[in-house]
Amino acid sequence: MTDPATVPRNTELSLPVVETFHSLQGEGLHAGRSAFFIRLAGCSVGCSWCDTRHSWQAEDHPRRSLQELEQELAGAAAAGAAFAVLTGGEPLEHDLGPLYELLAAAAVPLPLHLETSGADPVVLSGRFAWITLSPKRHRPPTTELLAACDELKVVVHEPADLAFAEAMAAQALAARAARAPGCEPHPAGADGQQRSPASHGLAAGGAMAQAVAARPPMTRQDRANDQSPVATGDGDWSFALPVPATRPGPALLLQPGWNCRRGQELAVEFVRSHPAWRLSLQSHKWLGVR
């Protein structure tokens, strides 16, 4: 696996790229939409169930200029892509600021989405229209990513993953509250030092997870806007996703591990009895789409 401390930053305005391709987003709230994917190389997280292990070693893949990536993205936009997705690997093991700036200034800019584990010690670089955080039990995410994510998607293989998912939802809620003006500081530990939400561990999941589940229900108008096409005002059409601005936390999703029957059973049963959560499926794999 790649040590993020040894990964070259974008000083030469290039990134190690495993592949780029135009397909459909298969997971999360944007599932089924046309998307252009940029899969970056380099990942130190090392998930045992990872289906892109070939992306772990950054040095095994060619570095491509940001201008090349911009040209490919423009071509995908002309072919109907609704947005671009930076995935990996772990994209945030690279400085994404220069890529964001170049794409933002492109003649045909697309909304830029990020898929990340948020694993400590990565730092959020660049700006994104949508951030999918998929936290890992063995490498919990940073408070920064918990506060910034638009959807929280936890992969489920065993019961401990459900407890972890509730803890992550609680910590995301706390991280956003801490970012709001006039918020109270995080509780102090026995040594008197303030703790970030992530430092509370799974023990934070109880009362705060209940607070996440108790978020206000969607109104009739919210449901009317649920993934329905709406005009953006500039002639473009996009989708109003079911994350009302009045809700303090990200959208909550459980995704069964691929070919994991136990994970499917656990995720389906949990979502059935926890209305704040949704089920995410790897629909591209079911369909045989890249």
Burial of 153 (0-12, 13-18, 19+ CB in 10 A): buried
> Hey, which of 174-178, 211-215, 281-285 has the most confident mean pLDDT?
174-178
Q: Which domain holds residue 27?
A: 4-178+204-210+238-287
Contact assessment for residue 227 and residue 240, using Cβ atoms and an 8 Å cutoff: yes
% of the chain at pLDDT higher than 90: 59
Percent of the chain whose pLDDT exceeds 70? 72
The answer to whether position 172 is within a domain reads: yes
At 236 the pLDDT is: 35
185 in a domain, yes or no?
Answer: no
pLDDT band, residue 240 (cuts 50/70/90): very low
The pLDDT confidence band at residue 51, using thresholds 50, 70 and 90, is confident
Give a yes or no: residue 85 inside a domain: yes
Write down the mean pLDDT value for the chain. Answer: 79
- What does the pLDDT read at residue 245? 44
180 — pLDDT class (breaks 50, 70, 90)? confident
What span, in angstroms and rounded, lies between the C-alpha atoms of 132 and 150?
6
More confident residue, 20 or 216: 20
pLDDT per residue as tens digits for the range 84-117:
999 999 999 999 999 998 888 877 678 999 999 9
In a domain, 261, yes or no: yes
Q: Which amino acid is at 164?
A: F
Q: What is the pLDDT of residue 229?
A: 33
* pLDDT of 278 above 60: yes
- 233 belongs to a structural domain: no
Tokens of 272: 């059935």
Q: How confident is the model at residue 50 (pLDDT cuts 50, 70, 90)?
A: confident
What pLDDT was estimated at residue 78?
94
Residue 196 maps to a domain: no
Give the mean pLDDT of 59-75: 94
pLDDT given at position 288: 83
pLDDT band at 48 (very low <50, low <70, confident <90, very high): confident
**CATH classification of the domain holding 142:** 3.20.20.70
Average pLDDT over residues 32-40: 96
pLDDT reported for residue 290: 79
Within 8 A by CB and 6+ apart from 90, the residues are: 4, 40, 42, 43, 44, 45, 116, 117, 119, 122
Query: Does the pLDDT of residue 20 top 60, yes or no?
Result: yes
Q: How far apart are CA 81 and CA 60, in angstroms?
A: 28
Domain count, the chain: 1
In a domain, 56, yes or no: yes
Between the CA of residue 88 and those of 37, 53, 94, what are the distances in Å?
Answer: 10, 10, 11
In a domain, 62, yes or no: yes
